Amino acid sequence: MKKARVLLKPSLLPSCLTRAKYFFSSVSQLPSISHQMETDPSSGSERYCYDPVLRWDPQVEDYFNKAYGTDHFARISKALTRPSSYSCIRVNTVKTTSDAVIEKLTKILNDSEDGLKLVQPDGSSPISKCQIPGLEYVVFVNGSGPHKIQYDFGLENPPKEVLVSRKCAEAVLRGAQVYVPGVLACTAHVEKGDAVAVCVAIEQPGDEGDWSVNMTRGTTLQGLPKDPFYCERSGLYIGMGTTMLSRAGMFRVSHGVAVDLSNRVFRLPSFHNVLEGEIFLQNLPSIVAAHALDPQKGERILDMCAAPGGKTTAIAILMKDEGEIVAADRSHNKVLDVQKLSAEMGLSCITTCKLDALKSVCLPNTLNDSKTVVNGDNSGSMTSNKEMAFDASRRPEAEKSCEKTATTEQSNGGDNVSQAEVRKNKGRLKNGRGRTQTQGGRAGTSQGFPPNSFDRVLLDAPCSALGLRPRLFAGLETVISLRNHGRYQRKMFDQAVQLVRVGGILVYSTCTINPSENEAVVRYALDKYKFLSLAPQHPRIGGPGLVGRCEFPDGYIEEWLKSGEEEMVQKFDPSSELDTIGFFIAKFSVGSKD
């Protein structure tokens, strides 16, 4: 067995370890996930193993190599192909406590076969409470891997196989089952109950610089070198399991588990449908982003790109469900997801609306034309509005009329309504239709909000998502598309900055490692809006941002942070000891806008 590789530059270790000190007192028993697996060519283990190489567009790779250094980027790239070695659970403290959740999860794991596999080498529980001050409501469940799977076949006698899509494999590596829609191909004559090796089909380069899997669903595999995708599957085996359906069944039915993957390269518990409403599976940096916003009870907060509502609900819990959070998203269906999650978690301070973040600011001359509607889902928050620091009733009538929130079509048919009607509806909805009954329905459209109408704004921007783990393919992003993400985010930022009141806070976050969407957006913001300044974040467990600039071969110059700014942001590096997704958080204080 080769030795585990050191994942951090030695010079970075002291500061990272200080940051990680609290964290690691709870996640200290994690088996290393950087072991290279033993190989034995004669047994086919070079082929039947998990050792993926993440493919990038060459220019993107070049850009990231310049930004991070070649060795560091190679480590990031490798880390992205693996799941984080633990699951992070945010406890809904409005409903329960970490201790109660730990007790319930322990029982659930003890009662399940899979739970036994998670018990740590020293026999201790894989479940622990986060030790970072202020984050005691976060619970970790350690997983393990990569495990060497005994496929028990040599090259002469290949295993029966099920080939799954990349998306399916990424979910399976995070602990999901292999569901029927994810199956692309299967060996001939597979019957229900057969032992199969599960491998993944990853996009391959085409003749015209395109990428595709190029395989028809239902393809028959023989396990022979003449199989389609034979070479490409090498090193892409994610486990061994038992088929729940015959080959014919897998391609006939539309849903259900295709393979019970009992022997996995990575073992992480699945929390699907577990303790619904009491817990939420969320990456640690996302929880930290909600803390960076530092929401206070009674404040009025805008979450501009809120769906599915992970951060919205985290913010609501930090506010003890007192105040008003407007959770907006461009997608109608996704807004319904936020409503559903809020209801499930029993949070009443969340108002939802469909709103394009690029049109979030409604200017005074549009106010007269705008429609005002009531969000039945927000009936609870209407009550708590009375206590709000930024009380809607104290805002000018013109400002209030700018808002139009969820379920409105149901209450007023989407027509313009008077304020009196609005208030009447609020009361009716509060005592009438239950929150969950609004879910089936509709998300109202907002016309935007007046400038300076929020105490705090979170812009958790749509991004290239190049920090998400595990990721098995990254070839579609080009330097141009990466720049375009940054452009889109800057436009959203232009809106966000107008909506925060003087003295308020704006948090910008992404789940990508791409500096064009992180440091370059911060540079843009600080250079354009002189009234913004970077604010300290608590807790600060991420690493520093990138200082400097990048000159591209086409002459484009991208400016990043200036010296002294790097420690004000949090950059979560997937290859660091924290073992999180790649994530970026910048917090801005809004000074006088004059």
Point out which residues bind ligand SAM (CB under 6 A): 286, 305-311, 329-331, 334, 356-358, 460, 462
How many angstroms separate the CA atoms of 132 and 121, rounded? 24
The smaller minimum CB distance to ligand SAM, of residues 239 and 310, is found at: 310
The smaller minimum CB distance to ligand SAM, of residues 358 and 526, is found at: 358
Active site residue 511: yes
Helix, strand counts (H, E) of the chain = 16, 23
Residues recorded for the chain = 594
The smaller minimum CB distance to ligand SAM, of residues 307 and 319, is found at: 307
How many angstroms separate the CA atoms of 473 and 519, rounded? 24
Concatenating the DSSP letter of every residue in 200-224 gives: E---EE-TTS-EE----TTEEE-SS
Q: Which long-range contacts (CB under 8 A, 24 or more apart) does 32-41 make?
A: 32/4, 33/82, 33/85, 33/145, 33/146, 33/266, 33/579, 34/4, 34/5, 34/7, 34/78, 35/1, 35/2, 35/4, 35/146, 36/1, 36/2, 37/146, 37/148, 38/1, 38/148
The smaller minimum CB distance to ligand SAM, of residues 149 and 468, is found at: 468
Query: Whole-number minimum distance, CB 291 to ligand SAM, in Å?
Result: 13
Query: Whole-number minimum distance, CB 477 to ligand SAM, in Å?
Result: 16
Query: Whole-number minimum distance, CB 460 to ligand SAM, in Å?
Result: 4
How many angstroms separate the CA atoms of 317 and 451, rounded? 26
My answer on whether omega of the bond before 462 falls inside 30° of 0, hence cis, is no
Which backbone phi and psi does 407 adopt, to 5 degrees? Answer: 60, 20
Choose the catalytic residue: 88, 463, 511, 550. 511
With contact defined as beta carbons under 8 Å apart, do 262 and 195 qualify?
Answer: no
The smaller minimum CB distance to ligand SAM, of residues 27 and 306, is found at: 306
Question: What separation in angstroms does the CA of 67 have from each of 72, 76, 549, 559?
Answer: 9, 12, 9, 12
Which backbone phi and psi does 178 adopt, to 5 degrees? Answer: -90, 105
Closest CA to 110 of 99, 98, 126: 126
How many angstroms separate the CA atoms of 375 and 393, rounded? 16
Concatenating the DSSP letter of every residue in 337-395 gives: HHHHHHHHTT--SEEEEE--GGG-B--GGGGGG---B--GGGHHHHHHGGG-SS-GGGS
Residues forming the annotated binding site? 305-311, 329, 356, 460
Residues forming the annotated binding site for S-adenosyl-L-methionine? 305-311, 329, 356, 460
How many angstroms separate the CA atoms of 407 and 414, rounded? 9
Query: Whole-number minimum distance, CB 277 to ligand SAM, in Å?
Result: 16
Q: What angle do CA 280, 282, 284 make, to 5 degrees?
A: 135
How many angstroms separate the CA atoms of 468 and 54, rounded? 13
Q: Is the dihedral of CA 560, 563, 565, 567 positive or negative?
A: positive
The smaller minimum CB distance to ligand SAM, of residues 305 and 443, is found at: 305
Which residues carry out catalysis? 511
